[in-house]
Every structure is written in C-alpha cells, then in structure tokens.
Amino acid sequence: NMCKVPCIGTPKDIEAIIDAGYADRLKETMWMVGYLAVKEKPIAMIQPTEKDGWCAFRQPDGLCELHDRGLKPTEGVLASCKVVEEDDIPTYETSVLRAVAHEWVKVENFATIMRVVFKYLHYNERREQDK
C-alpha cells in the first residue's frame, strides 16, 4: 500500500490542506531524499505526518481522506499505483517526487511558502493557547 509514507505536496497543496482545517496532521520536516540520492541540499517543508505507521490521512478502508475533497498532495495525484517494469522506472532527476520537493525552493513560490509557514505556525500557536 502506498500510504505507508505520506505523499508530499507543493506549497499550494499544503496551503489548501491547512485552509481546509487539517493543520493538525501536518509537520515540519527536512526532505533528505535528494541529499541521499545525489547530495542535493536538504529541503525544509511542511508535509503530512504519519500515524500508526501510515499517512495520517489514510482512512480505515485504506483510502485517502483528502482524495475526494480535491486536497490530495501532488505526489499522490501523479503517482501510479501500478507496478512498473524495471526499464520504465524514472530516474531521480525525472521523478515526480523530486519535482514536487523542488517547488519548496523555487523563488516564484516564496510568497506561497511564507503564507504556509505563517498559517501553520499560527495554528500551532492557537493550539498551545487552548491547552
């Protein structure tokens, strides 16, 4: 099942998830895949968290809670559930995963990234005040 590891989303994906009221299922993270694959710098981002060994948005029936709401992160939307032939496996450089992760470092996304960070921090601040 693909939901063992949460799909990553673009800054716009994550902003939509926060705006829909799901900030409690997100976390700050450093994306290390690029570093491990080709020594790219780690990328700071906010992404879905895990719960009980699964993506926090995986429902008991195995389906994604975000899917029908149009909020599924881009990696999950573009990922194929089908087994691919060994010759058809994309390289790291051409992978959906890399393309989505790099949305978090594009200058043209800076304003969206700052909104996401602000909204996420604001949510956490309110949560702390409610305790």
CA distance 122 to 116: 10
| pLDDT (tens digit per residue) in 36-75 | 888 889 999 999 999 999 999 999 988 899 988 999 999 9
Residue 57, phi then psi, degrees to nearest 5: -100, 0
Global pTM exceeds 0.95? no
Cβ density class 55-81: b for 16+ within 10 Å, e for less: bbbbeeeeebebeeeebbbbbbbeeee
Tally of CB atoms within 10 A around 114: 11
The yes-or-no verdict on residue 102 having pLDDT over 70 is yes
Tally of CB atoms within 10 A around 82: 6
